[in-house]
C-alpha cells in the first residue's frame, strides 16, 4: 500500500514533470501511477515521495532549517481541509474530488511563497483551479 503525507495529497495533483533530480521524478511518476490502483495510507511524516528525496535526513526534511516544521504544518492544514487524518486509508480518486473544494484556501495560504509555484503553473489542472 502507498503512503502519502497530507500536503502531497494536494500538491501532487499539479505535478508537471519537475523535481529535485531524476530519481525523485521517476519515483514520483511511479507513485502517481500506483495511486490510480492502490489504496493510500495517510502518513504522519516521510512518505513514499519523501523516500527518494535528496533532502530527507533521519525521516525529516532537511531542505532548510525551517522546512520540516513548515511541511508538518502544511500536512496538518491539508488534512484539515480534506477532512482526513493520519493512518486513514483512502483512494486517490476520492482525494481528487476534493481538490476543487479545497484549492482556493490552499492556494491563498501556500502557493505564492512556494518554490514549486512555477512548476505547478504548468499544470492545466492548477490553472483551471485558479480560474474558478
Residues lying near ligand SF4 in the complex (CB under 6 A) are found at 11, 14, 110-111, 114, 116-117, 120
Tell me which DSSP letter residue 21 carries: S
Considering the complex, state which of residue 10 and residue 40 has its C-beta at the smaller distance from ligand SF4: 10
CB of 17 to ligand SF4, least distance (A): 13
46: helix, strand or coil: coil
Considering the complex, state which of residue 37 and residue 102 has its C-beta at the smaller distance from ligand SF4: 102
Closest by alpha carbon to 70, among 21, 115, 25? 115
10, 111 Cβ separation under 8 angstroms: no
Q: Which three cell numbers stand for residue 65?
A: 532549517
CB of 19 to ligand SF4, least distance (A): 11
Considering the complex, state which of residue 14 and residue 37 has its C-beta at the smaller distance from ligand SF4: 14
CB of 121 to ligand SF4, least distance (A): 8
Residue whose entry in the numeric block shows the C-alpha cell 482525494: 95
Amino acid at each position: 500500500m502507498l503512503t502519502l503525507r497530507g500536503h502531497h495529497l494536494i500538491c501532487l495533483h499539479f505535478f508537471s514533470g519537475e523535481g529535485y533530480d531524476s530519481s525523485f521524478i521517476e519515483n514520483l511518476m511511479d507513485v502517481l501511477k500506483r495511486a490510480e490502483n492502490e489504496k493510500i495510507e495517510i502518513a504522519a511524516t516521510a512518505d513514499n515521495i519523501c523516500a527518494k528525496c535528496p533532502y530527507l535526513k533521519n525521516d525529516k526534511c532537511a531542505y532548510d532549517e525551517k522546512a520540516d516544521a513548515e511541511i508538518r504544518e502544511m500536512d496538518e492544514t491539508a488534512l484539515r481541509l480534506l477532512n482526513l487524518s493520519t493512518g486513514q486509508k483512502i483512494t486517490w480518486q476520492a482525494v481528487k474530488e476534493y481538490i476543487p473544494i479545497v484549492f482556493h484556501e490552499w492556494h491563498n495560504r501556500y502557493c505564492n511563497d512556494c518554490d514549486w509555484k512555477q512548476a505547478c503553473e504548468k499544470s492545466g489542472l492548477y490553472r483551471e483551479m485558479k480560474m474558478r
